[in-house]
Amino acid sequence: MADPAARELPTVRHCASPDVYTQQLAAQPGFAQARVALDVETRSMVARGIFAAQTGITHIPVVVHVIWNTADENISDTQITSQITVLNRDFRKKNADLSTLPAVFAHLADDAQIEFALADTDPKGGATTGITRTHTKVTSFTYDDAIKSAATGGTDAWPADKYLNLWVGRLGGGLLGYAQFPGGEPATDGVVILSTAFGTVGTAAAPFNLGRTATHEIGHWLNLNHIWGDENGCVGTDKVADTPNQASANTGKPAFPHVTCANGPSGDLFMDYMDYVDDDVMVLFSVGQIARMHACLEGPRNTFPVVADKNLEQKRRGRGAGTDTN
């Protein structure tokens, strides 16, 4: 197996989800209007306390499409399952590195009550491992969705209303991944991740070797924006009230506090999964972000089952709903 360290690996997080979003606005009739309507409904559901009333766990079946050209890109089952483990820790607030969160921000972290598992039934009703493997002649993909189609060297999506499609392969231009926001075409719905930024073992390479690229991109898939709102200079918004306004993306390993946009003394919430920091720095989704994700799960992604959990009832009574704003 080739040594992934021998090839150029990304050193700064680069997510193409905003680029894909812009393309969808231009190419998909009605997408812009649908997104406006979704934002209106999201604000309404968050204001009504949609997450505070949630007493179950949303279960999301996952299919991982491994698209490989060289042997090292054909990542192991163990590397894939390590990524699922990370997702369940991060979305259930069970990640050990949450202890690094500054005390001033501790009240913002919460359990998203979302769990992921490799699918055990394929679209035809047969047994599956939840993993597909496709050898391709394409040496590198970008964010044009070619990896999502067998006709262009990738693999077709499984039904997006029943599965979270994760495509894993070689991406060029320093790209770590990208996601499709809710409301896009089902044939391209899902998340794409660079193979060396997927999971925690095998070819996973620092500083993106803790599985947080998938956590970040699935946040987009569940309708979260980048925490700075993709507009520099303190004018952007992620439409979540409890994440401090910040001037631009944070990268690498910032020192706390990092004050921008008059958000002192605590500064930017750069430890959030939706910033651009290294994997070992990002540790939380905020209460407001989780409320926004659950509005998405009650809206455009409402086909995934919620399983009741009696242990959440007491937690519900003491939890605030968060607030979504423009």
Active site residues: 217
Could you tell me which of 262, 286, 281 has the C-alpha nearest to residue 271?
281
Q: Return the structure tokens found at 316.
A: 């519900």
E-assigned strand segments in the chain: 56-68, 114-118, 131-135, 164-169, 177-179, 191-194, 251-252, 276-277, 306-308
Q: Return the structure tokens found at 191.
A: 């998340």
User: Which backbone phi and psi does 129 adopt, to 5 degrees?
Assistant: -85, -10
Alpha helices in the chain (DSSP H): 17-27, 31-47, 77-91, 212-221, 287-298, 313-317
Buried b (16+ CB within 10 A) or exposed e, 129-163: ebbbebebeeeebebebbbbeeeebbbebbebeeb
Paired strand residues for 321: none
Paired strand residues for 276: 251
CA 274, 112, 318 angle in degrees (round to 5)? 125
Residue 1 to residue 9: CA distance in whole angstroms:
17
The full 3-state SS of 162-180, as one line of letters, equals CCEEEEEECECCCCCEEEC
DSSP-derived letter for residue 106 is G
